[in-house]
Chain A
Amino acid sequence: MKPLLSARNLTKRFGNRIACHGVSFDLWPGEVLGVVGESGSGKTTLLNCLAGRMTPDEGNVAYETASAGTVDVHRLSEARRRLLARTEWGFVHQDAREGLRMGVSAGANIGERLMAIGARHYGNIRQSASDWLERVEIDLDRLDDRPTTYSGGMRQRLQIARNLVSEPRLVFMDEPTGGLDVSVQARLLDLLRGLVDRFHLSAVLVTHDLGVARLLTHRLMVMQGGEVVEEGLTDQVLDDPQHAYTQMLVASILPV
């Protein structure tokens, strides 16, 4: 078995500031990797470099495609990278407005992804869109409404449906539960957990919430000042933290 995604020595600078430095890891099929750390630790920059949305100054990202062998994500043509992003990948933004088309209906938001991978039969597309709305627990009578009329939690669930309808192999998630009410978060987490299990998804999940990381991820990387300071199995890192920064993060969780 080969890793699905291999990052080697990724470094990204903004001017003189180093946003992420020397990050390397392998993501294996079926694994959910969490990247945790405070704001400004370089997590989102790393995610954008991994997904080809940003070009690193040094290092490379290799992705094992479904049928075309291993590709260097940053050496692909723009067209091929976009194709990959639509067909084999998903990207869930913290702000659902970035991941949705706000001017078209929920059904069209889901259907568009299917049409991008070649679906043409209108009835089938609408049926898939309905199935996915149901799966993410949105009432079917909202199928023809625009996401502008949705609540924050519903928009996030719609964004997830839009990403997963094309059955991606790898999903990048940037704070998917950030900015939502706690009760809405719990529902979304439970949903994501079920979907990851059921579709055997591989994912890289950026979050500053260690509770979210505990629930959704198998492995963790802890970032501080652009560097990975600790990594391991999620429960190892949270229950037996080794690095001073991780110990501080874990000790800062408020008990309920």
Chain B
Amino acid sequence: MLPMLRVSGLHKSFVMHAQGDLALPVLTNVALSVHPGECLALVGPSGAGKSTLLRSLYGNYRPQSGSIQVRHRDDWVELVAAEPRAILDVRRHTMGFVSQFLRVIPRVGAVDVVAEPMVRLGAPIKEARRKAEFLLGLLGIPERLWALPPATFSGGEQQRVNIARSLIADYPILLLDEPTASLDQANRDGVIDLIRQRRDQGTAIVGIFHDVAVRDAIATRTHNVALPGGST
């Protein structure tokens, strides 16, 4: 079976011009691949570059060299140094990202925030809203909040809105950055169940899970991200 995502020789450093062009190497020669139905957990000490790797996979950070290939509409797309519209197309159809924080849009209610990725794929608004409401319900967001903009929601509620938003479009690849960080036990279990369901249905997942219990419940493999210089 073909992988959904394959990475090789990936290098990423940050150059801080305000600090006399200080160069911070973060990723050196990273290689990995993820198959459908797998969940790869990125592990390593804080500051080792787990988030940098995850953001690079989403095309959000720009690696200096190496290759990130994504299986997109039965074709391989190279994300390193790709054109913006190529990356946007991969994000629209193939790859979802759950960050720790929701970037809220003024005046847009939770249901529409969640429905948006599906509407962008051409689904009728009514159908997308119905699915958004179903997901919000499943994730334990009280119905009275659905129409409200999530700016005033609690951290845990915002995170669940974020999760619903990235699950609605059924992306074949999901990237998760601490999806349960600000959730209580009951809500955490709900999120774990949903993600495992997706994994078992064949979604390829890469995630960062600090909570070992969450990691054990979701991940099928781990990938060690070492501190630059090799001192782990």
Contact = CB atoms under 8 A, between A and B. Distances in A.
Interface of A: 28, 31, 186-187, 189-190, 193, 197, 214-215, 218-219, 232-233, 235-236, 239-240, 242-244, 247-248, 251
A233 B88 contact: yes
A232 B18 CA distance: 21
B84 A251 contact: no
B209 to A, nearest CB: 22
28 contacts: A28-B85, A31-B84, A186-B106, A187-B107, A189-B106, A190-B106, A190-B107, A190-B108, A193-B105, A197-B119, A214-B103, A218-B88, A232-B84, A233-B60, A233-B87, A233-B88, A236-B59, A236-B62, A239-B60, A239-B61, A240-B55, A240-B60, A240-B61, A240-B62, A243-B17, A244-B17, A244-B18, A247-B17
Given A236-B59, A236-B60, A248-B17, 14 more contacts: A28-B85, A187-B107, A190-B107, A193-B105, A218-B88, A232-B62, A232-B84, A233-B60, A233-B87, A233-B88, A235-B60, A240-B61, A242-B62, A251-B18
A233 B56 CA distance: 13
Contacts of A219: 84
Interface in B191-205: none
Interface string B75-90: 0000000001101100
B120 interface: yes
A248 B19 CA distance: 11
Given A186-B107, A193-B105, A244-B18, A31 B85 contact: yes
A190 B104 CA distance: 11
Contacts of A197: 119-120
Nearest to B108: A190
- Tell me the dominant secondary structure on chain B's binding face: mixed
B15 interface: yes
Nearest to B82: A233
Interface in B58-105: 59-62, 84-85, 87-88, 103, 105
Given A240-B61, A240-B62, A242-B62, A233 B84 contact: yes
Interface string B12-44: 001111100000000000000000000000000
B59 A233 contact: yes
Contacts of B15: 242
Contacts of A235: 60
A247 to B, nearest CB: 5
A76 to B, nearest CB: 27
B61 A236 contact: yes
Interface in B105-126: 105-108, 119-120
Contacts of A242: 15, 62
Contacts of B88: 218, 233
The 7 A-B residue pairs whose C-beta atoms are closest, nearest first, are A244-B17, A186-B106, A233-B84, A240-B61, A190-B107, A219-B84, A247-B17
